[in-house]
């Protein structure tokens, strides 16, 4: 940057130093392979240039010495010199990867919010439904993909007939779960819903972490904007007097596949072949940076969002469908430190006998302000009971209390497993972009 302040002699000495470093590298790596004459020539050229630098020679003799050394390196440098552009690019990316991995491991780590347990402070996957014929065009879809991470989801009728949904004997939608790929690269779990039209089966494949309470189905498949999906299914079953056609359907549960009885529930719509059964966008969960440094020196404070590992939280609620311990990073809000006494009196959360403080989200939940739903009694914090946080442990809860699986269900977070705190939401490009709270 300040090369204009350096004399020509100084620039030449700096360049000569770089040549000497290259010569030393060639000598160290190829001295056992070079003939004695070439090795002697390399040492002589290297020694003369080194002496000129030490004597603070002028630019002219230094350039002559560099030209002599460069000619010698060309004849004996092998694969080390001259360096081709491919090698330089590989070295650059290797160094960059090492730096990025170091930053990720010790300073700042990217993190994706998988579910809506912290909604509306942080968003997991959400959806936006569209009326038939009002779907975004290609240009708008591209813009939504870039800014919101919106992925298009559609189900098209394979034949003429009535739309039917595969449900289990208790009326819940029948779902297959299997391993898959996100963006064709990253391993992920998928969930598959099955429909039938005119005797032909069609499926919809979605990410397993997409937990929008199936209201996408209410809004698109059933077309009933009032009430939840449970009410929509209940109404449909009532209209059939509970008499549903059934058949055997192959369903996958993790690595196991088997035949189960599927009941075909009419959703109240008749379609033509090619009509849209469901049309909506899945919007990506918030992507944020997690700062990993400060909690190595100071304890996290009540009210802070904090990220932690789950491998040492031993509970049935912290196991996958196959019974394996979940080993992931979770983000919740810290509500209890060692010795704290906690109690929920809906919609308020109390800490040591007083309404909890430390984050605006506490007050917004207490007032049920905006989208904040208030705190609920469940699990380890049932109605009328208090809980004390033990030593070397923390108690974590989601801001979306009614839909959050948190310490109330699976217990305390070990102190040693706290990773860091949310720092900055960098994607998607919404009003939430910026510093995390």
383-410, pLDDT tens digit by residue? Answer: 999 999 999 999 999 999 999 999 999 9
What confidence score (pLDDT) does residue 97 get? 63
Please tell me the predicted confidence (pLDDT) of residue 106: 62
Q: Is the pLDDT of residue 84 over 90?
A: no
Query: What is the residue-wise DSSP string for 332-368?
Result: EEEEE-TT-EEEEETTEEEETTEE--SSHHHHHHHTT
pLDDT band for position 202 (cuts 50, 70, 90)? very high
- In order of their start, the domains of the chain are 3-76 (1.20.1270), 126-283 (no CATH), 287-435 (2.10.109.10)
User: How do residues 94-104 score in pLDDT, each as one tens digit?
Assistant: 666 666 566 56
Percent of the chain exceeding pLDDT 90 equals 49
Position 311 scores a pLDDT of: 93
* 282-301: average pLDDT: 90
- Top pLDDT among 89 and 341 is at 341
pTM of the model: 0.70
Q: What is the pLDDT of residue 110?
A: 86
pLDDT tens figures, 188-200? 778 999 999 999 9
pLDDT tens string 28-64: 888 888 888 888 888 998 899 999 888 888 888 889 9
The answer to whether the CB of 266 falls within 8 A of the CB of 166 is: no
**3-7, 160-164, 246-250: the lowest-pLDDT one:** 3-7
pLDDT of 184: 53
What is the spatial order of strands in the sheet that 276-283 belongs to?
A: 126-129, 276-283, 151-156
pLDDT, tens only, 102-124: 656 567 888 888 789 999 999 99
Higher-confidence residue of 87 and 334: namely 334
Please tell me the predicted confidence (pLDDT) of residue 94: 65
Query: Exposed, middle or buried, 197 (CB in 10 Å: 0-12/13-18/19+)?
Result: buried
Residues 6+ apart with CB under 8 A from 305: 118, 121, 122, 331, 332, 333, 334, 421, 422, 436, 437
Distance CA 281, CA 231 (A): 23
pLDDT at 85 over 60: no
Question: Taking 80 as the threshold, does the pLDDT of residue 321 lie above it?
Answer: no
Separation between Cα atoms, residue 90 and residue 423, nearest integer Å: 32
Q: Which percentage of the chain shows pLDDT scores above 70?
A: 91
- The answer to whether 50 touches 24, Cβ cutoff 8 Å, is no
* pLDDT at 212 exceeding the cut of 70: no
Read off the pLDDT of residues 219-253 as tens digits, 9 standing for 90 and up. 889 887 777 888 889 888 888 888 899 999 988 87
pLDDT at 91: 58
Predicted local confidence at residue 135, as pLDDT: 85
End-to-end CA distance of the chain: 39
The residue-averaged pLDDT of 287-301 equals 90
- pLDDT of 1: 45
Mean pLDDT (whole number) for 64-84: 82
pLDDT number for residue 253 = 78
Taking the C-alpha atoms of residue 291 and residue 108, their distance in angstroms, rounded to an integer, is 5
Mean pLDDT of 144-150: 93
Task: Please provide residue 96's backbone torsions phi and psi, each rounded to the nearest 5 degrees.
Answer: -60, -40
Sort residue 223 into left (φ over 0), alpha (ψ -120 to 50) or beta.
left
pLDDT for position 16: 87
């Amino acid at each position: 940057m300040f090369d204009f302040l350096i004399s020509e002699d100084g620039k030449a000495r700096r360049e000569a130093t770089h040549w000497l470093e290259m010569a030393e590298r060639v000598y160290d790596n190829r001295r056992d392979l070079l003939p004695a004459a070439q090795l002697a020539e390399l040492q002589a050229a290297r020694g003369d240039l080194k002496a000129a630098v030490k004597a603070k020679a002028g630019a002219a003799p230094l350039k002559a010495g560099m030209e002599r050394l460069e000619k010698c390196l060309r004849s004996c440098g092998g694969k080390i010199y001259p360096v081709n552009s491919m090698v330089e690019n590989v070295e650059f990316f290797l160094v960059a990867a090492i730096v990025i991995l170091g930053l990720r491991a010790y300073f700042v780590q990217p993190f994706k919010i998988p579910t809506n347990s912290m909604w509306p402070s942080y968003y997991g996957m959400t959806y936006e439904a569209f009326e038939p014929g009002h779907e975004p065009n290609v240009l708008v879809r591209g813009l939504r993909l870039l800014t919101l991470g919106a992925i298009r989801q559609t189900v098209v009728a394979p034949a003429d007939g009535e739309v039917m949904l595969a449900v289990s004997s208790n009326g819940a939608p029948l779902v297959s779960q299997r391993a898959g790929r996100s963006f064709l690269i990253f391993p992920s779990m998928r969930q598959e819903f099955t429909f039938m039209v005119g005797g032909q089966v069609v499926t919809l494949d979605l990410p397993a972490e997409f937990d929008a309470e199936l209201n996408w189905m209410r809004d698109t498949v059933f077309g009933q904007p009032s009430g939840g999906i449970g009410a929509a299914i209940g109404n449909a079953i009532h209209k059939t007097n509970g008499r549903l056609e059934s058949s055997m359907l192959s369903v996958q549960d993790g690595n196991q596949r088997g035949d189960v009885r599927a009941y075909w529930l009419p959703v109240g719509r008749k379609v033509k072949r090619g009509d849209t059964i469901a049309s909506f966008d899945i919007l990506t969960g918030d992507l944020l940076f997690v700062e990993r440094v400060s909690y190595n020196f100071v304890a996290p404070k009540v009210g802070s969002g904090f990220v932690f590992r789950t491998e040492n939280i031993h509970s049935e609620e912290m196991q996958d469908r196959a019974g394996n311990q979940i080993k992931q990073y979770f983000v919740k809000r810290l509500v209890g430190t060692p010795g704290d006494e906690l109690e929920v009196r809906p919609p308020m959360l109390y800490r040591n006998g007083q309404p909890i403080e430390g984050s605006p989200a506490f007050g917004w939940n207490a007032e049920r302000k905006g989208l904040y739903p208030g705190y609920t009694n469940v699990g380890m914090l049932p109605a009328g009971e208090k809980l004390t946080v033990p030593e070397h442990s923390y108690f974590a809860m989601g801001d979306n209390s009614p839909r959050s699986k948190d310490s109330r269900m699976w217990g305390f977070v070990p102190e040693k497993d706290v990773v860091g705190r949310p720092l900055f939401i960098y994607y998607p490009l919404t009003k939430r972009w910026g510093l995390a709270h």
